[in-house]
Structure 1
Amino acid sequence: MSLMRSLNRALSATTGLQVRKAAAVAPPGPKNAAAKPGKRPTPVYRCPAPVDLATDRLLREPVFIMSPVRSGSTLLRMLLNAHPRFHAPHELHIRRLEVDFGSKLSQRAMSALDLERGDLEHLLWDRVMHRELVRSGKDFIVEKTPSNAFVYRRIRDCWPDARFVFLLRHPVSVARSWHEGDPGKRTFDEAAADALRYMRAVDNARKGITGGHTLRYEDITAGPEKEMRRLCAFLDVDFEPSMLDYGRKDDTQVVKGLGDWRDKIRTGQVQSGRPLPAEDEIPEILRPMCEAWGYTS
């Protein structure tokens, strides 16, 4: 008879209890490991009336470039930044700047001022961008973070006088460039599926915003002066020839992870785009978007 059975017989006779082998317990995770936060719901906010803009917003007529990833938005911001009236910094990711109340009293105090969490976030976004604009000494700021397309309604509501530029590119070229940017991170199929999320967001923004201006990357690389003249007319500024020769950029001006950083964008001049994909090179997942954006015959 095993020791365990003998022990259990004795325990059962005297206490009614028995010993059982404990189930395996998973080892504890690192002490500093934090649970991945879930997606926060869109906070409550109000849309400032035109009469309130003078007190609620510092920026006037900011320009937002709505584009998928790898669509030439860094090139477009370089061209605009070469204009004496536009400051186009690297991607600012303002939508990720969030505000929390440190206590219920602070929440009550802000609510008494008619400021909810969303309103405070909008004030923060506006202040950060205005600070950057003032430091540049120019008149208007340009923001080109691709993920802004996912929150275009908040941006439109935050700045009722904002101007929107939609930059399109052949969906297959977008997917290829997204894959080539980090081939070890994503296959072409994964890149196509991920880039499609951005394309759909931009498409929704184009449909949801009236009065925007649409550009195509292929048109910019084929005829930059013509497209910049059209864009300047939309933005109500004079075209400047200096836009076409925006100057060589170093590591302080082109930052990896905050836009395109590779050699092509550093040359300081518009380079030729890649040939358009053939019809039989379009994967089924991208075909509807190619048709919607006019990239199929």
Structure 2
Amino acid sequence: MPPGPASRHDRPIFVLGCARSGTTLLRLMLHSHPRIAIPEETRFVVPTWTARCDFGDLTERGNRRALAEWITGNRSTKVHVLGLDPAAVIDEIVAGPPTLGSAIGIVFRAYARLHGKPRWGDKRPSYARHAGSLLRMFPDAQFVHLVRDGRDCVSSLLEMPWYKGDVHHAIAVWRETIDQGRRLARRLGPDGYHELRYERLVADPGGELTRLCGFLGEDFDPAMTRPEGLAQRAVSSRKEWHGRTRGAVTTSRVGSWAERLEPWEISLAEAAFGERLAEYGYEPSGLPKPPVSQLAHFTRVSSHRRMAQHKDALRERWRQRHEPNPVECRLTPEPSTSAT
């Protein structure tokens, strides 16, 4: 028999939000809590989930070993940044419950143990798209959605050296993430889903983090409001786009879209976002409507993205029908540990 539901303090935490909405800052704040361990993005969860049918029946030790070796040795992901002993992780997965969620949970649990913490989480902006998969593996998970003014997200995305899309795709990403978050909120309710605004987080870190800790069932710790010390050690200087996390929390970038976007880009974003901006309290620019040609271009981009997501959903349904094992995590809580 699988163990009963984990206690509130053992529930996994998944942080999501549109890219460039401040999720790295929030991850550092949460990792500064003495009980919570959230690594930098490892990007192995979704690829492992997608490949789950390739490893066969996980009740066979050899298949669990193949899965564990794939997770720890896959250089296309960033599992190595966790600083774990691959051999020890492999042995723990082989000895663990025969489900995919258990294998993934073991990796994050080992990371939390390395930091002397009893609770783990993970951060990736795209988790908004994959919340259903995460919930199948971790049905007791709690989701934290950080929302930022879409115009600031778009302007920041367009400046990133790793971003390959154009303004139309950037606008679509924010709109999709907001809509995915709303669906997740309806599905999980206030016990499983918590939304906070970036602008309020940087203006009043103590107040916003206190409310977040209340949702998580944890005591607020003032160290969470000072993530810059952790960032100086944990954020690579090569990631120039995260450079501001190494300084004190600031509101200096709030509303900077007004100088960073062209007027037509602002108009297009506001038209595409519809009522979503106003519903979050973001003030419109007052600019005239965008050219019809730009709206038509955005509509085509949005339609193509929906078609691609529909195809992904069909592939996912096929994989679900061919799963050789249950996927739900069956790990039991570890004994309490003290933060180092």
What range is the shorter-chain TM-score in? 0.5 to 0.7
* Residue aligned with 1:166, SS: strand
Instruction: Give CA deviations for 1:187-225 in whole Å, capped at 9, x if unaligned.
Output: 333322344333333333223222222110000011111
Pairwise mapping of residues 25-104 of structure 1 onto structure 2 (< 5 A)?
52-53=2-3, 60-93=10-43, 94-97=45-48, 98-101=51-54
- For residues 16-53 of structure 1, give each alpha carbon's deviation from its aligned partner in whole angstroms, at most 9, with x where no partner exists: xxxxxxxxxxxxxxxxxxxxxxxxxxxxxxxxxxx623
Q: CA deviation at 1:108?
A: 9.7
Of 165, 179, 196, the match for 1:200: 179
SS in 1 for 2:52: coil
Q: Note the alpha carbon deviations across 1:139-187, whole angstroms, 9 max, x for none.
A: 2112111111112122223222212212111111111111122388333
1:142 aligned partner: 121
More RCO (CA 8 Å, sep 6+):
2
In structure 1, distance between residues paired with 2:58 and 2:140: 30
From 260, 277, 296, the equivalent of 1:290 is 277
- Of the three residues 203, 206, 214, the one matched with 1:222 is 203
Report the Cα offset of residue 287 of structure 1.
2.6
Q: CA deviation at 1:236?
A: 1.9
C-alpha RMSD of matched pairs (Å): 3.3
Residue 61 of structure 1 deviates from its aligned partner by: 0.6
* Cα separation, partners in 2 of 1:218 and 1:184, compared to 1, 3 Å: closer
Note if 1:131 corresponds to 2:110.
Answer: yes
Checking the alignment, whether the CA contact within 8 Å between 2:147 and 2:195 is kept in structure 1 is yes
Conserved in 2, the CA contact under 8 Å of 1:254 and 1:260? Answer: no
Structure 2 CA distance for partners of 1:108 and 1:217, relative to 1, 3 Å: closer
Shift in alpha-carbon separation, 1:217–1:108, aligned structure 2, 3 A: closer
Counterpart of 1:263 (choices 239, 243, 260) is 243
Which of residues 209, 214, 229 in structure 2 aligns to 1:233?
A: 214
TM-score in terms of structure 1 length: 0.67
Query: Partners in 1 of 2:167 and 2:52 — Cα distance?
Result: 37
* Residues 179 and 188, structure 1, Cα contact 8 Å, conserved in 2: yes
| Residues 133-212 of structure 1 mapped to structure 2, 5 A cutoff | 133-182=112-161, 185-211=164-190, 212=193
User: Partners of 1:55 and 1:190 in 2: how far apart?
Assistant: 39
Number of corresponding residues: 233
Q: What letter corresponds to residue 148 of structure 1 in structure 2?
A: Y
Q: Distance in 2 between matches of 1:108 and 1:61?
A: 24
1:248 Cα offset (Å): 3.4
String of CA shifts for 1:84-114, please: whole Å, max 9, x gaps. Answer: 1111211233122133446xxx54966xxxx
**Residues 172 and 282 of structure 1 are in contact (CA less than 8 Å); yes or no, is this contact kept in structure 2?**
no
Task: Report if the CA contact (8 A) 1:221-1:273 is conserved.
Answer: no
**1:255 shift after superposition:** 4.6
Q: CA deviation at 1:126?
A: 1.4
Larger helix proportion, structure 1 or 2? 2
Amino acid at match of 2:46: R
Identity %: 25
Structure 2 SS opposite 1:248: helix
**1-side partners of 2:153 and 2:200: how far apart?**
15
Q: Per-residue deviation at 1:67? A: 1.3
Q: Which residue of 2 aligns with 1:243?
A: 224
Match of 1:52, SS state, is coil
| Rg (Cα) greater in structure | 1
User: 2:202·2:251 contact (CA, 8 Å) conserved in 1?
Assistant: yes
Q: Name the CA distance, whole Å, in 2 between partners of 1:293 and 1:143.
A: 25
| Residue 294 of structure 1: how far off its partner (Å) | 4.0
Structure 2: state its 5+ residue gaps: 61-66, 68-97, 285-340
Conserved 8 A contact 1:290-1:296: yes
Tell me, in whole angstroms, the C-alpha distance in 2 between the residues paired with 1:144 and 1:76. 9
TM-score normalized by structure 2? Answer: 0.59
